[in-house]
Structure 1
Amino acid sequence: MAPTSKDPNPPSGWWYNTRTGEVEHGALSRSIDRLGPYPDEATARRALEIARERTSAADRADADWSEDD
C-alpha cells in the first residue's frame, strides 16, 4: 500500500489497521482506520487487546468516580 502523504519525513512507528486487521510500518492508510503509533510490531499486533484493557480501566475509573457522588 502506498503512503497517503508525500511528506519527505513521514512519522515512524507501527500501526494496526482496524479495517484490514494488518499491522503497518509508517502511516500507510487512512488515519480513521489506524490505531497507534506503537513502538514495535509486536505491540501493534496487540492493539485491540490494549484498547480493550484501556477501555476497561477507564470504565472502572468512571464507576469509581460516579460512586463518590
Structure 2
Amino acid sequence: MSTDDPDPDKGWYFNTRTGQVEHLKRSRSIDLLGPYPDEATARRALEIARKRTEEADRADREWDGD
C-alpha cells in the first residue's frame, strides 16, 4: 500500500516486508529501512543494518568492559 504524497521524500527505501526497493511512492513506515541516497545503497539495507548492529553490540561490550 503506497502513499500518494504530493511532495514525496526523494530518498530510497528498502521494504522489509516485500524485499523491494521503493522510491517516491512508499509503503507504511513500519516496513521500511531508509532513507538511502540511491537505489544501490537501498538494496544493501539489510547488510548495512546488520553491520551497524554488530558495531553497536561491540561498542556496548567495550563500554560494559566485557
Q: What TM-score results when the alignment is normalised by the length of structure 2?
A: 0.90
2:3 is matched with which residue? Answer: 4
Superposition pairs for residues 5-24 of structure 1, below 5 Å? 5=4, 7-24=5-22
State the 1:23 CA deviation.
0.4
State the 1:54 CA deviation.
0.1
State the 1:28 CA deviation.
1.3
In structure 1, which of residues 30, 54, 57 is the aligned counterpart of residue 55 of structure 2? 57
Bigger Cα Rg: 1
State the 1:52 CA deviation.
0.2
1:42 is matched with which residue? Answer: 40
Question: C-alpha separation between the residues in 2 aligned to 1:8 and 1:30?
Answer: 16
Number of aligned pairs? 66
Match of 1:12, SS? coil
Runs of 4+ residues over 2 Å off in structure 1: none
